[in-house]
Amino acid sequence: MKLLTANVRQMEEKRTAENNSQLDNSREVILTSFSGTLKLSANQAQSIGESSFSIRTGSEYDLILSGGGETQGASPMEQLLVALAGCAGVGIRDILRKMRQEVTDYQIHVHGVLSEEAPRVFTKIDVEHIFTGENPSSANVQRAIDLDTTQRCGVHATLEKIATITHRFQINAGVPVD
């Protein structure tokens, strides 16, 4: 797993027919970096209620997903929004760091609108970025968001195929926002 954390900004998503034919009813994402290929999968899901599952990821993290009115964990649709926030946050923060923009705090608020008809999918997603720091310029923040959403964040690329995604930001000087 060191490969993933050490090279996350260098990785790009890659799916091949050869790898897909070897899947055994699990969903996998192939991430390729300059150091090699790493397969990630949700390799174990155990029922823990009527509509909840404890999931062990391929990178050995545990999460709980709930549906059908249960509240033991986040819903799968909430997890999609969380994945978008995490993917964008990691990429944008990295880009700003390379631009030598001093960001002392960074919050992301993501809101999604679901379709009325089944299967309910996101039709609109609004992402608000709130930066705190001494010198981040609006132009550099906008450039970082544009670079991440067009070239880096695979979650954004996936979700924008079904939903309109808008990004907006604000910059606060000095003290982090509560």
CA end-to-end span of the chain: 33
Structure tokens at 3: 């490969």
Closest CA to 37 of 18, 60, 56, 24: 18
What pLDDT is stored for residue 135 in this prediction? 80
- Give the span between the Cα atoms of 29 and 20, in whole angstroms: 9
**pLDDT score recorded for residue 18:** 33
Quote the tokens at residue 38: 């790493």
pLDDT in tens, 118-168: 999 999 999 999 999 988 899 999 999 999 999 999 999 999 999 999 999
Residues in the chain: 178
Low-confidence ranges of the chain (pLDDT < 70): 1-42, 175-178
- Sort 1 into a burial class: Cβ within 10 Å, 0-12 / 13-18 / 19+: exposed
Q: Which domains does the chain have, with CATH numbers?
A: 2-66 (no CATH), 76-173 (3.30.300.20)
Question: Both tokens of residue 22?
Answer: 């070897």
Helix axes 138-147, 76-98, angle to 10 degrees: 130
pLDDT at 163: 98
Please state the pTM of the whole predicted model: 0.74
Provide CB contacts within 8 A for 67, sequence distance 6+. 51, 52, 75, 76
pLDDT of residue 83: 96
Neighbouring-strand partners of residue 166: 126
